[in-house]
Amino acid sequence: MNILSRNILILMLLFFVKLFSQSTEQKNYSGIRSQFENLNKNDIRALPFVNDYIREAKRDLNYEELTQAYRDAVFYTPHARDKLIYSDSMIYAAEKSRDNSLLTLAYLGKGIIYYFNYKKYEPALDQYLKAYEYSTKTNDKYLKYKVIYHLGVVKSYLGYYKDAIVHFNGCINFFECEGEKSSNNNEIYNYKRGYYNSLHQMIICHRNIGNLKTVDSLINIGISKINREKDFSLERSYLLKCRGISELSHHKYDNAIIDLESSLPELISKDFSWASVAYFYLGKSYMINDEKKGLMQMEKVDSIFNRHRFILPELRKNYEILIKHYRKKKNVGKELYYTNQLLAVDSVITKNFTYLSPRIHKEYDTKALLKKKEYLENKSRSRLLMIIFLSMMATFFIALFVQRYKREKAILLKYQKLQEKLNGDAIGAIVIEKVVENERKSVLSPEVCKDLTEKIIKFESRRGFVQQGLTIAGLASQIDTNTSYLSIYINEYKGSNFKNYLNKLRINYITELLNSNKKFLFYTNEALAEECGIATRQSFSDLFYEINGIRPQDYIRKRKQDQELL
């Protein structure tokens, strides 16, 4: 055997040894995992095998397997603290592997622990954002949208509902499309589960921003689809809960009770936070005809809060109702208990929902609650202290009433002044403004002025000003002139620059619609802004106030009162 042949033989032997070694190594990992992978989540019987798995992967410096081993440790350990420790180790192993998919899984896993086990939303969001950054560098779209979903969940809980809707809308589209294309049963199941959970979160967001028609439409779509499925019992319960809440808002109390009670068995066993929501709305439904039964449901919300020290902001109202009830019944002990509970709830909400909490309408602000608590605890003190306290409360409410009265009176005067202008044709439906004869000679020729006057009248008549993003260059192009002539004309004959001219046309137009057509009184500010060509709700509100002297929401409220629509 010559030297060349011998070297070739040695290389072939080394190759097969390496190949065999890798194959054996993989079989060892698979063998270890096969001993525990069918056990349920949080089953500590898996942990000895998981520790063997970790030791094997460490010995082999196999960071891909080590990441999976720590992921298994997170899954099977029942203690939240240990889950967090293992998640840090999983991140370490994933970083060593330099695999973006593994890094995505690791950071996502840690975020889920913060969210589900600790209810700490801000650190969860930090982890989700890191996971998302890595997910953009992978080709695993399912993993990417799983991260997007969890980002949306945290944003929804923090109160960023519109941002969250963008997340869930993308997830719904992805999971639905991919589920229809896939032929793998496990993949189809995962896609459908992602779809139904994203739909549930989308419904929650729309309900919280008042898009009730959208809510009903999404519920109908979800229930019609999920009723054809054998699986997804928890997701079906989410949708039944949402439909029950919607039925309550439509005053269909019997239907609401049926749906909410049907949703509870799964929610109680698998998702206490939404079980708590179901109990609250079930209580409200029962309160219509059976106050005692309604109170029993609402007290279950408090039991869940005591057990988990977690509550959703919308359930704050649960405690306000209980406090009012026991105050009416003159049950000081119960009133004091639920007052203290409401203070505890506010503390949790303020801590966990730093964005959402300040926006909640609080019938009992913290200071008032503390004063009331002091009053209830010291009710047996001298009559003088009680009189002083009640006098302070009376002064506060009188001041509040006077302030509100003055504000309402000012709004009424502004409304009446605007109505006088409208009824006197100071502004019209479209407001084709007459050309103001300028005493000084225009720099434009009479022929140009006449031509522009005719074109501007046509522009205003056909409501061209409602086009969003319209610029002076755009209008000049439309009416076949140049921007210089048009700018001079508007300044000389309309008495303002192009921007103010356009804003005035738009606000006058929408004001006349609100005055003359009842249907526009039920539009949101966003819809009204779109109707008249203004880009944002805030800009619309500010311009309406600047031109009419009254906020649009105040004008609409007064107009509804005039039309007896409230």
Q: What is the pLDDT of residues 482-501, one digit of tens each?
A: 999 999 999 988 889 999 99
Tell me how crowded residue 210 is: count the other CB atoms within 10 A of its CB. Answer: 10
pLDDT for the residue 6: 61
- Segments of 236-276 assigned E as strands: none
Mean pLDDT of 22-28: 54
**Model confidence band, residue 121 (pLDDT cutoffs 50, 70, 90):** confident
Mean pLDDT of 261-272: 93
Q: If DSSP codes are grouped into helix, strand and coil, which group holds residue 140?
A: coil
| 468 DSSP 8-state letter | T
* DSSP letters spanning 382-396: -HHHHHHHHHHHHHH
Query: Would you say residue 429 has pLDDT above 70?
Result: no
Phi/psi at 426 (5° precision): -70, -30
Rounded CA separation 225/81 (Å): 39
Phi-psi region of 74 (alpha: psi -120 to 50; beta: other; left: phi over 0): alpha
Distances (CA, A) of 381 to 384, 386, 541: 8, 8, 51
pLDDT for the residue 201: 97
Rounded CA separation 496/368 (Å): 50
Q: Any residues with CB less than 8 A from the CB of 490 and at least 6 apart, and which?
A: 496, 497, 498, 501
pLDDT for the residue 119: 72
Q: Residue 448: CA atoms inside 13 Å, Cβ hemisphere, count?
A: 17
Query: Would you say residue 439 has pLDDT above 50?
Result: no
Residue 506 CB burial class (10 angstroms; 0-12, 13-18, ≥19): buried
pLDDT in tens, 446-472: 999 999 999 999 999 999 999 998 999
pLDDT in tens, 214-247: 999 999 999 999 999 988 999 999 999 999 999 9
Rounded CA separation 287/317 (Å): 14
Instruction: Answer yes or no: are the C-beta atoms of 124 and 133 closer than 8 Å.
Output: no
User: Taking all residues of the chain, what is their mean pLDDT, rounded to a whole number?
Assistant: 85
Q: Which residue has the higher pLDDT, 397 or 79?
A: 79
| 490 DSSP 8-state letter | I
Tell me how crowded residue 382 is: count the other CB atoms within 10 A of its CB. Answer: 9
pLDDT for the residue 159: 81
Indicate the Cα dihedral angle 501, 503, 506, 511, nearest 10°. -110
Q: Find where tokens 């966003």 sit.
A: 526
Mean pLDDT of 188-193: 93
Residue 360 CB burial class (10 angstroms; 0-12, 13-18, ≥19): middle
CA-closest candidate to residue 89, choices 70, 107, 113, 116? 70
- Segments of 124-176 assigned E as strands: none
pLDDT for the residue 5: 57
Residue 235 CB burial class (10 angstroms; 0-12, 13-18, ≥19): buried
**Model confidence band, residue 427 (pLDDT cutoffs 50, 70, 90):** very low
Instruction: Answer yes or no: are the C-beta atoms of 418 and 550 closer than 8 Å.
Output: yes
CATH 2.40.50.140 fits 446-562, yes or no: no
Q: If DSSP codes are grouped into helix, strand and coil, which group holds residue 276?
A: helix
Query: Would you say residue 372 has pLDDT above 90?
Result: no
Q: Which residue has the higher pLDDT, 135 or 253?
A: 253
Q: If DSSP codes are grouped into helix, strand and coil, which group holds residue 125?
A: helix
pLDDT for the residue 287: 95
pLDDT for the residue 218: 98
Query: Would you say residue 290 has pLDDT above 60?
Result: yes
Q: Name the CA radius of gyration of the chain, rounded.
A: 33
Query: Would you say residue 16 has pLDDT above 60?
Result: no
Q: What is the pTM of this model?
A: 0.57
Query: Would you say residue 369 has pLDDT above 60?
Result: no
**Model confidence band, residue 357 (pLDDT cutoffs 50, 70, 90):** very low
pLDDT for the residue 85: 96
Query: Would you say residue 426 has pLDDT above 70?
Result: no
**What are the domain boundaries of the chain?**
311-380, 446-562
**Model confidence band, residue 436 (pLDDT cutoffs 50, 70, 90):** very low
Mean pLDDT of 104-114: 93
**E strand or H helix at 539:** helix 537-548
Query: Would you say residue 15 has pLDDT above 70?
Result: no
pLDDT for the residue 362: 37
Query: Would you say residue 166 has pLDDT above 60?
Result: yes
Rounded CA separation 101/91 (Å): 12
pLDDT for the residue 175: 96
